[in-house]
Structures are given as structure tokens and as C-alpha cells.
Amino acid sequence: MRKRGFTITEMLFVVLIIGLISGAGTGLYVGTFKKLRVQRSAYDFLLTAKYGRIMAIEQQSRYTMMLDAAGNGFLLTTLRWDEENEQASEQVVRDPYCKPVQFEGDVVFEDVQIAPDGLETESESENEQQQSIVFSPNGTAQLAVVQIGDGRTHYTISISAATGRAKIYYGTAENVKATTTDLDAES
């Protein structure tokens, strides 16, 4: 009577196939995780821009979205009245709906195009002006196109000057047309 079983070669072949399948799955997972990291960062930027616009209108105060010069994060600030010093000071917005964001991994600002708002002072440098987006109490904002990515995956957020509204697009900034809107133009 012959005993049934597997040979060592058959067992090694099955182990090899399982290893190849799990290796491919791990590679797909890592790629998907990196894409989701970029997507989450872009949506955080979009939501912060929308929140800044809404709060500027609601509070009738200027809100400024500050982009980290190193390209790895952003935060929202506003002018608040300090009772002790009896003067206005710039304060970072921290509440359940908005907080400073630091990008994770390889995610950075890949392209930042911000139109001047006309409110800059002589002491502000070009670099400082290019690293902030101002949302005004009347609902307007600086025209801006910001690309966030990791070198492989890219999202672009555009902010309209006339309405202050932000939109997100998958892809690079070169595919997004930044234009001003003439609200008085007849359609």
C-alpha cells in the first residue's frame, strides 16, 4: 500500500506561490497608502480653505491661510482682539473644525501660485506674500492654485478670487486654469 502525501518540492512550490502573492499584495498596499496620504492632505487643505472663507464671512474678520515655507504644512490664522494689551494680534485657529496640519511622508506643496491681494505693506517680502492666502469678510479671497503631491500622485486646489470658493482637482496645477471672474460681465 502506498502512502499519500506531498513531496518537499511540492511544498516549496506552494510556499513560493504564497510568498509571491503576498509580496504583490504588500506592494499594492504601500502604493495605495501613499496615494491616500496625498489625498488626505489635499482634502485637509481644501476643508481648511472652505472653513477660512466661511469664518471670514461669519466673523467679519480677515482669515489667513499660512503655508509653511518648507512645504510641509499649513495653518489658519485670524486677527483677535487682546483685552489685556488692547490691540489686535494674529492667532492660530484651533477648534474642533480646524487645526494646523503637518504633511506626512513625502507629501509637500509641489506648486504654489498666489496672486497678490493688494494689501501687502512695504516691509513684507515677496516670499512672505507668496506663502499666505487671505480670506476677506466680504467673501473674496486671493486667487490661488496650490498643487499638493508626493512626486507620483498630485492634487490641485484652486481658490477663486471673486467668490473665495475652493475646488479640488486630481492632477497637476498645469491642468487647472486660474482666472479671475468678472461678476459684472453679462452672460
Domains of the chain: 8-175 (3.55.40.10)
Kindly state the average pLDDT of the residues 31-58: 92
Give the model confidence (pLDDT) of 100-116 as tens digits: 999 998 999 999 988 88
Q: How confident is the model at residue 127 (pLDDT cuts 50, 70, 90)?
A: very low
Which strand (E) or helix (H) includes residue 25? helix 8-59
pLDDT at 97 over 70: yes
Nearest partner of 164 among 40, 51, 44, judged by Cα: 51
Full-model pTM? 0.75
What does 29-79 look like in DSSP terms, one character per residue?
HHHHHHHHHHHHHHHHHHHHHHHHHHHHHHHTS-EEEEEPTTSSEEEEEEE
